[in-house]
Each structure stands twice: as C-alpha cells, then as structure tokens.
Homo-oligomer: A and B are copies of this chain.
Amino acid sequence: MRFLCEREDLFTALQTVSRAVAQRSPNPMYENVFLQAWAGGVRLAGTDQSLGIEALIPGTVQEEGSVLLPGRLFPEIVRKLPEGEVSVEVSDRFTATIRMPKIKTTLQGMDASLYPSLPAVDDGEEVHISQNLLKDMIRQTGFAIAQDATRPILTGCLFEVSGEQATMVALDGFRLALRRGQLAAPCEGSISCVVSGRYWAEIGRILSDSDDEVALRLGEKHVSMEKDGCKIVVSRMDGEYIKYRQLLPAQYQTSVLLDRAALSESIDRASLMAKEGRNNLLKFSIKGDSLSISSNSEMGDVFEQIDAVTQGQDIDISFNVNYITDAIRSLAEEKVLFRFNTSISPAVIVPEEGDSFLYLVLPVRTFQGV
C-alpha cells in the first residue's frame, strides 16, 4: 500500500474518524484507525462497534491496500507534521512509513483484513433537515440525558418525526428538555428512534454551521448520515422511550417573563454560594413584579433581585442549581418565560414566543418551600 495526500486533508479526516475509535477495547483492533488506499482515493475509518465514522480524502494511490494504525498516536503524528504532501507506505509486515521532506516516521500497524465495514443502512426512512436545526436539537437536549445507566434508554435522546415536524427529547428522573423544528421536506407518517446522547453529539460535531439540509437515514438497527465525504453510522437503542407527553403540564398558575442574560448572571452568582453548601439549592421567590433568587451555605448567603413581568400567583420554589444552569445556558433567546404551578410541581422554561423549546424541571422540596 502506498499513497500521497495533503497533510491537511489527512489530519482533518483523522480528527473526525478518531472520535469513533475505542479508547480501550477487549479487541485491540478497535483501538486503531483503518486506512485504505484504493482506486477511488484514501478511506479512513474508526469504530467502537456501536459508533462508526468514515471519511474519504483525495490522494494519489500508487499501490492499493489497507492497514490499521494506532488510533491515538497516528493522528498525533500527523498533527505535528508541517503543511504539504505526505507519503504513506505500508510494508507487508504492516509497518507504515510516513514521509515528508527530511522527516521520516515509522509506525507499527496491524492487519486490517478482519476490520468490519460500517453497517450499510439501506432500509428505513430518510429525513431531510437543516444542519443548524439538527445541531440545535442535539445541543439543547443532550445535557438532560441520564448520567447513570440505571435505565439505559434514558442515556439516549428520542428523535421523533411526524409530517413536517421533528422533535428531540431527553430526560432523566429530574428534568426534561425538548426541542422542536420543521423538517426541510415532510415525511410520510410518523417515525421515531432513540440514539445514545453521546452518539447524537458525534453527529452534531460533523454538522456545519449552515442551513443547508442533511439527510438522516433511520434504519431498523442504525441511524446514518453522510456529509462531504464523511459518513457516520450509529446504533439505535432498544426499548420503549418514556411517554413524555403526559409529563408536560397543561396549564400554569404563574408565568414570569425574564431577560435571559440578567437571569443567567444572577443564577451564576447565586450558584457560587449554593455550591459551597451541601444542598446545592437555588430558591426562587416571585412576589408581585419581582423575582428574587437566593442561596446559602455555612459561608454566607446571596440575594439577587431581577426585574420581571409576572402573571398569576406569588410562589416560593427551590431547584437544584445544575438543573437550572444547564437549561439557561442552552438558550439563545433574549427573553425567557419561567412557568410554575405549585412549589412541589414541575416548572417549565420556554422561549417568550413559539414552542420550539421546552425545559421541564422538578423542584426540590424544602421546609421553607412547602
């Protein structure tokens, strides 16, 4: 195997595919990057068996072949090379020689003949969606997946498609994040799938900051996406997702319209003190046209007031700091609406207008709050 390619192309492709390379695997083969030179160019791939990423780059192939090279060291070596043309040559004993003028690196590889191809996803439905929208859906829900695997399905995000509308949902036992948007082209009927939050994040990483659409193929076992010579295939999760619709409150007793930046800064300051304490709590108190946020610990306390436009009843309610900061950070809107029923029922955070985003969070019951 022997080919020439640009260092820049090789490095970009390695950065992409190495995200799918297993850090540690019972089968050391999966700790490698797959490298193949054939008539069509140079193909790189990585997989940990549930996540696979493949990238094609232009190259001058002088001899076809394939090899597995160390998944951590090979990209590091290429990262440190200067710009220009790189030659890669692999011997019969799987030793790769990477050459540039005055620089020669040899790297011991492995036989690639047992390395699996990415699963072909040729069944199922194709969903066309704007890259920016899909990125936002992933970013604005992914933080709410369960961190432990007590209920494995909750480490995934549900992706639902119905007609022109797509919805992504993540929830753990304490909060739920939901993002809706319009597809680039309507789908027939309704489809849904659950994919690990970690894999959605990898799909998000491959997307560009662009409104150009991309096609997600939702197969029976896998979800795949292709973009600019790069292909990602991820396993779907088995099992039924929580029927999340019944968790969403139908009405609210209190609504508070807030400046997101002001809210974010106040929460940031109040969090500092909350995190010193054991309870990690933020207390929200709505009285008339004012919202106050307070926190305390043995070290002291913080009291913040924020201008707000309120509707409905006064309320005192407490939340875990982290559940609130995650949601506020994921929003870009100038104004947000905080909506409550009682101090022991779920509250929601939504944009001032539209229903593109909803964050639901359970309050923490406190002696003061009840």
Q: Which residues in B have their C-beta under 8 angstroms from that of A285?
A: none
Is A108 close to B, CB under 8 A? yes
Contacts of A103 in B (CB 8 A): 266, 269, 302-305
- Given A77-B272, A272-B77, A272-B80, A104 contacting B265 (CB threshold 8 A): no
- Whether B302 pairs with A105 at a CB distance below 8 angstroms is yes
Q: Which of A38-90 contact B (CB under 8 A)?
A: 70, 73, 76-77, 80-82
**Which residues of chain A from 143 to 173 have any CB-CB distance to chain B below 8 Å in the complex?**
none
- Does A299 contact B102, Cβ atoms closer than 8 Å? no
A80 touches B300 (CB 8 A): no
Task: Identify the closest chain B residue to A301 (Cβ).
Answer: B106
Q: Contact: B304 with A268, CB < 8 Å?
A: no
Q: Is the C-beta of A209 less than 8 angstroms from some C-beta in chain B?
A: no
Q: Which of A83-127 contact B (CB under 8 A)?
A: 95-96, 102-108
Q: Is A22 an interface residue (CB 8 A)?
A: no
A188 within 8 A of B: no
Which residues from chain B contact A104 at a C-beta distance below 8 Å?
302-304
- Decide if A276 is an interface residue (CB 8 Å cutoff): yes
Is B77 a contact partner of A108 (Cβ separation < 8 A)? Answer: no
Residues of B within 8 A of A107 (CB): 299-300
Q: Which residues of B contact A344 (CB under 8 A)?
A: none
* Inter-chain contact B102/A300, CB cutoff 8 Å: no
Give the contacts of A236-287 with B (CB-CB under 8 A): 265-266, 268-269, 272-273, 276
- A80 and B299 form a contact (CB under 8 A): no
A272/B306 contact (C-beta < 8 A), A95-B300, A105-B301, A106-B300 known: no
The interface centre, meaning the residue of A80, A107, A276 with most chain B CB atoms within 10 A of its CB, is: A80
* Bound CA–CA A104/B107 (angstroms): 61
Q: B77, A269: Cβ atoms under 8 Å?
A: yes
A266 / chain B contacts, CB cutoff of 8 Å: 103
Chain B residue numbers with a CB within 8 Å of A306 are 102
CB<8 Å pairs between A and B, sample of 16: A73-B272, A77-B273, A80-B265, A80-B269, A80-B272, A81-B269, A82-B265, A95-B300, A102-B304, A102-B305, A103-B305, A104-B302, A105-B273, A105-B301, A105-B302, A107-B300
